[in-house]
Every structure is written in C-alpha cells, then in structure tokens.
Amino acid sequence: MTSAESFCSTSFDYVIIGGGTAGLALAARLSEDPNIVVGVLEAGEHIHEMPEVSVPGMMGQALGNPKVDWAFSTVEQPAVLNRKIFSPRGKGVGGTSALNFLVYQRASEEDYNAVEALGNPKWNWKDTFLKYLMQVETYVPPTDPEIANDPHIGYTTDYHGTNGAVKASFSAWFNDHHAKFMDALLNMGVPINRDTGNGRNIGASVGPISVDPATMTRSHAATAYYTPNADRTNLILLTGAHVTKILLETPPGEPVVATGVEFSKDSQKFTVRPKLEIILSAGTFQTPQILELSGIGRTDVLTQHGIKTILDLPVGENLQDHLTLPFIHEISKDSATFDSLRDPAVLEQQLTLYKTEKKGLLAGSITAYGYLPSEKLFDSKDFLDLQKQILQDTTLTATPSLNKQSAILKKWLPDPNHAQIELLQFPFFLSFGPLPERQEGKVYHSIMIIGLHPLSRGSVHIKSADPFSSPEIDPRYFSNPADLEYMVSGVKFVRKLMRTEPYASAGCKMYDPPEKSAETNEDLSDDEIRDWCRTRVISIFHPIGTAAMMPKDDGGVVDSSLKVYGTKNLRVVDASIIPMEMSTHPQAAVYAIAEKASDIIKAARA
C-alpha cells in the first residue's frame, strides 16, 4: 500500500484529484503509456467487498452510508416548501459510479450536438460522443432466452462497443409489471424504441445497466478502470487523501501555473508536485469547492471567505439537476419487488439463487423507461399556453450562455422527437425523501417521473474556507415555474397510464398521489397535483454544469480542451464540465468525456 510520503516523493507527470467515475477512467487511459506516471488522490477508501455496492438488486442501499457517500444536502429550497433536498455523492474508489442506480443510457443526438452549439467545436454526437461512448462500453445483449426474446429489446451493432472497460448488459430479473408498463405506454401512443443507443432516446424502451453479466456485479469505475490496471507501476492511487487546495503560481504576463496539490491524510498535511498537469475530477459539487479554495472563482464569493482571487471565473454557477417524483402505486400482493428482500427468508433464498445461478431479484435492476416529448404530455391548448410562457421567459438571459441554452431548450419544447419527461419503472417503494407511510402487508411499485430539461439554474459555492466543510448547494429547484408545470404534466400522464390497459386491469391502485382528492372526492385538480409535487419532489442526482465547458465570455470555466481559463496546466474532467442537462442519465457521458480528455491530454504532450 502506498504511503502519503512515498506518494509525494514520486515523480508524477499527472496528478488527478478524485478517484471517481471520470478520474479513474482518465487515470487508466493516461497510464497506458508506461513512460507516463499518474497519481490519483481520493478522499474516500477502497472498499472491495460491499454487497450494497456490488449486487445489482441492492442498489440504493448504500445511500447515506458515510463510508461511501458524502451525503450532502441542499440549502432550503424556497420553491419546494423550503425543504432541504438530499444530495448523495459517491466517496471512495469509483466515486458515484459505485453508488448510482446502474442506469446506463445515452441521450439523443441533439443533446450532444448542443454541447458543440454552446461553443465547443467537435463536441458533438458524430465526432466525439458516439465514438467515445462506444469506446467506453462492452455491450452484452441478453442471452437468457426469457429476456432475449422480450419484444421490446433490440440491438444495433453499429452503435455499440465490444471492447470497452464498462460492461453494459441487461437486468437478469424482469418484474411482473415490466411488460404491462411497456404495453400501456404503447396503448397511449408511445412507440416502442428497441435500441435507444442510436442517438434517438425517445419512446418506450428497455434500458441497459452497468453490470458485468459474467459475475452479475456492478461494473463501475473501480472494477472497470482501476482494478484491471492496479498492478501498473506507473499508476499510483492514494486513498484517504482529502485534497484541500491546488497551489498556483502567477508568472507576470503568463498563464497561471498549477504547481502542486495540498492534501490531508490522517490529519497530516502533504504536498505533491507533478511535472506536467493537475486534473480535477472531484465531481460537480467538490470540483468547484477545490477551485474556490485555491483562489479560482467569483471574487465576491472568495473575498467573503478571506481567499485571495487568482482567477476570477464563474466557478460554481450554472448548476442544473434532474428532479424526480416517485408515483407510488399498490400492486397485487403476490408480486415480487425489491422490497420483498426485507423479509429475511426471501433474502436468504434469493442470495442462494444469486450466488449459484446469478439469477433472481438480486440479479435484477430497473428495466423499463418511457421518454416522452411535449406532445404526449399536454393537450394542445395547455401546451400552447405553457410554450408562450416559456418563450417570453427572461430568467435565462443573464449571460450569453444562458441565452444560448434558452434558445436550444425553446427549440426542443415542441419537438416530437425530443423527450422532456422520462418515466422509469422502479419496482419498489423508495427509502429516502418525504414519503407517505408504507402500509403493512401492502406491495408497492413506483414510477419515477423525471424532468429532463430544467430551466432553473442554481449554484454551489464554499460556505467556509475550511476544506472539510460541505459546500453550499443551492440548485434553486423549481425557481422557474415551467419546471413544475412539466412535472405536473408527467403526473397527469402517469395517472392516465394507470387507467390504461393492460395496467388498468392489473389491480394497481394509486397510493401517492391518491386517486381522488380528500377534499372533493373527485379527480385531483391541477393545483392539488402542484402541491403534491412540491411536497414530494426530490433529486434523481444528476447535477452538472458548475465548471462549464463554454467560451469564457459566455460564462465558461473551462475551454473545449477542458483547461481552466487563464491556466497553463489545470484541467477539469468530470460531470461539472457538461454545460446543459441531457435527456438521459449522465454516467455514460461522464466516462466518454474522460476517454476524450485522455486523447486531448496525450495530444497536448505530443
């Protein structure tokens, strides 16, 4: 095991801050060249055996566990009844890829093209994302005939990788409402999309998951990128190393030089000085924190905490996130759900099945999705009213970047091929968030309703100069009222879905929100649905954008080579550089960004 002393005395070419999703992918790629020495500093530990991390059917159970989760919270959010919203982030080798819900999907082509349109040449679907998304994955279609013959699954070899580090496969357990959900969507006019990996993430689909089907365990940054390369002598990972600051020098008339990284391990302070570059991969909340602690950020924020500004950049601004609502419904008592695992007898039986045959609930995950454009969510009058409101909206005009983002979002609003709301069939009752009481003896499913293109923008900043205090996370959820209206449209859609065959006759009973208003005993009014949304809404944990890759004059923090503006050798490679939310879950894009970053960095050296 590496000690902090020997780490600091190593002659590194690159030091990466954060051994998470992007950090480990980048480290693996850069250290392919045996002449290049790469160091990774990770605040958390390397936890090798933790079923809540590795076993697919236990995903979500590690949330809040301080061994693997920073377990942040937002500040009070005025537009959601002043609630503080839980904001987990992975801690330890693998970062958030070890903690996430395993959804391994791609957005639509236009989402990636928007990254280029926001001022980043070649960062589009064709030249960058498709290539690197394929490079990241080994896509494994199902072989179990029961699953392979599912009429909703398809596979186009042109769009999938066969040799990448991350295994993308399919759940080995399909819950008994999976097909009903898909067919009810079809009956509501949502077409089946058999392979959404082709740049068209729209319609009803069965999604891949980041699971290695050979072992039926989570495929994440640690298992995919670190463990197979851990014996490289030129790749050195130090865990329990909390980075407190990047040391910067300011040669007159020249770009700022990042000369070293200060970190704390076992309460002792250390400094490491790489020869070439420092790369920040500490994620959407902590990359801005480290930049600000080092003197890169908004001067007013830094001054407030007694930190001298070295570079005045809008670090921590442009925070965006995906919100979700768990639409909980009761299903028949004989249905198996992930909640069945709470019964010790069921757990034991499922453990045996999992260990011996890699089957059953513990080999299962989320399977079914609906990606819905506006036309499926609103009747035409309601849509025209909302569209008018959004088109006249001036909240997104504060900076040139927001103007550009707003123009793109407005273009997508009426597009029948661009999803605004995602539905995700979750075969369990969530275990976090403001939930109604679970009634004994009842069995529940949830349909998660996710808003894909929020118009609200927030920020994350240090709340103290103490590097060990949590950052102040203020996503300003629902500060733009259109975000709430989209969620309301999603709730109304799911209420119709519950009343559509084959769901309708499957014995489902709406539980939360209830079928009828307690006051009127009629269907819920729009205002009652709005109130329910404010009470129940939570994050689905896709924060991005806080060290955005955009032109400097537009409010960018890094340029399109991921270099922090005004620096010679400091880059950011993680989810914080994504300038605008995409219509999907982000992990695949984060890996793709890291793979591309390694090519950029290698080319810069050549």
Ligand X SMILES: Cc1cc2nc3c(=O)[nH]c(=O)nc-3n(C[C@H](O)[C@H](O)[C@H](O)COP(=O)(O)OP(=O)(O)OC[C@H]3O[C@@H](n4cnc5c(N)ncnc54)[C@H](O)[C@@H]3O)c2cc1C
Amino acid letter, residue 38: V
Cβ atoms of 74 and 473 within 8 Å: the answer is yes
Q: What is the footprint of ligand X within residues 484-543 (CB under 6 A)?
A: 541-542
- Report the C-alpha gap between 132 and 161 in whole angstroms: 9
Cβ atoms of 360 and 401 within 8 Å: the answer is no
- 440: exposed, middle or buried (C-beta count within 10 Å: 0-12, 13-18, 19+)? exposed
- Report the C-alpha gap between 495 and 515 in whole angstroms: 8
- Report the C-alpha gap between 191 and 204 in whole angstroms: 6
Which is closer to ligand X, CB of 239 or CB of 489?
239
Which is closer to ligand X, CB of 139 or CB of 541?
541
545 binds ligand X (CB under 6 A): no
Asked whether residue 301 is marked as a ligand-binding residue, the answer is: no
Work out how close the CB of 26 gets to ligand X at its nearest, in angstroms, rounded to a whole number.
9
Work out how close the CB of 367 gets to ligand X at its nearest, in angstroms, rounded to a whole number.
13
Using CB under 6 A, pick the residue from 57, 90, 208, 555 that binds ligand X: 90
Give buried/exposed letters for 117-150 (b at 16+ CB in 10 A, else e): bbbbeebbbeebbbebbbbbbbbbbbeeeebeeb
Which string of x and - marks every residue 98-127 that binds ligand X (by CB under 6 A)?
Answer: -xxxxx------------------------
Owner of token pair 């190593």: 10
Asked whether residue 96 is marked as a ligand-binding residue, the answer is: yes
Which is closer to ligand X, CB of 132 or CB of 378?
132
Cβ atoms of 590 and 575 within 8 Å: the answer is yes
- Report the C-alpha gap between 428 and 510 in whole angstroms: 14
The window from 13-21, 340-348, 522-530, 598-606 that contacts ligand X (CB under 6 A) reads 13-21
21 binds ligand X (CB under 6 A): yes
Work out how close the CB of 452 gets to ligand X at its nearest, in angstroms, rounded to a whole number.
13
- Report the C-alpha gap between 444 and 577 in whole angstroms: 38
Residue 585 is among the residues annotated as catalytic for this protein = yes
Under DSSP, the state recorded for 438 is P
Catalytic residue among 152, 220, 453, 585: 585
Asked whether residue 587 is marked as a ligand-binding residue, the answer is: yes
Count of all residues that appear for the chain in the document: 606
| Local structure of 289: helix, strand or coil | helix
577 binds ligand X (CB under 6 A): no
- Report the C-alpha gap between 511 and 427 in whole angstroms: 14
Asked whether residue 113 is marked as a ligand-binding residue, the answer is: no
585 binds ligand X (CB under 6 A): yes
Using CB under 6 A, pick the residue from 96, 171, 294, 340 that binds ligand X: 96
Which is closer to ligand X, CB of 183 or CB of 292?
292
Instruction: Give the strand pairing for 38-41 and 14-17.
Output: parallel
Give the nearest residue (CB) to ligand X: 20
- Give the angle subtended at the CA of 550 by the CAs of 604 and 30, to the nearest 5°: 30
- C-alpha dist (Å) from residue 191 to 5, 150, 221, 514: 59, 15, 34, 28
Asked whether residue 124 is marked as a ligand-binding residue, the answer is: no
Which string of x and - marks every residue 546-565 that binds ligand X (by CB under 6 A)?
Answer: --------------------
Which is closer to ligand X, CB of 89 or CB of 563?
89
Q: What is the footprint of ligand X within residues 246-305 (CB under 6 A)?
A: 281-284, 286, 290
Work out how close the CB of 105 gets to ligand X at its nearest, in angstroms, rounded to a whole number.
7
Work out how close the CB of 440 gets to ligand X at its nearest, in angstroms, rounded to a whole number.
27
Residue 418 is among the residues annotated as catalytic for this protein = no
135 binds ligand X (CB under 6 A): no
Which string of x and - marks every residue 36-75 that binds ligand X (by CB under 6 A)?
Answer: -----xxxx------------------x------------
Asked whether residue 586 is marked as a ligand-binding residue, the answer is: yes
Q: How many helices (H) and strands (E) does the chain have?
A: 17, 25
19 binds ligand X (CB under 6 A): yes
Owner of token pair 């590194």: 12
Which is closer to ligand X, CB of 3 or CB of 352?
3
| Local structure of 40: helix, strand or coil | strand
Using CB under 6 A, pick the residue from 95, 208, 295, 427 that binds ligand X: 95
Which is closer to ligand X, CB of 292 or CB of 483?
292
Query: How would DSSP label each residue in 290-351?
Result: HHHHTTEE-HHHHHHTT---SEE--TT-SBB--EEEEEEEEE-TT---GGGGGSHHHHHHHH
Work out how close the CB of 399 gets to ligand X at its nearest, in angstroms, rounded to a whole number.
23
Which is closer to ligand X, CB of 23 or CB of 213?
23
- Report the C-alpha gap between 604 and 277 in whole angstroms: 11
- C-alpha dist (Å) from residue 93 to 90, 209, 290: 9, 20, 19
Work out how close the CB of 167 gets to ligand X at its nearest, in angstroms, rounded to a whole number.
14
| Known binding residues | 96, 100-103, 243, 586-587
Instruction: Cite the active site residues.
Output: 542, 585
| Known binding residues for FAD | 96, 100-103, 243, 586-587
Q: Which parts of this chain interact with ligand X (CB under 6 A)?
A: 17-23, 41-44, 63, 88-91, 95-97, 99-103, 242-243, 281-284, 286, 290, 541-542, 574-575, 585-587, 590
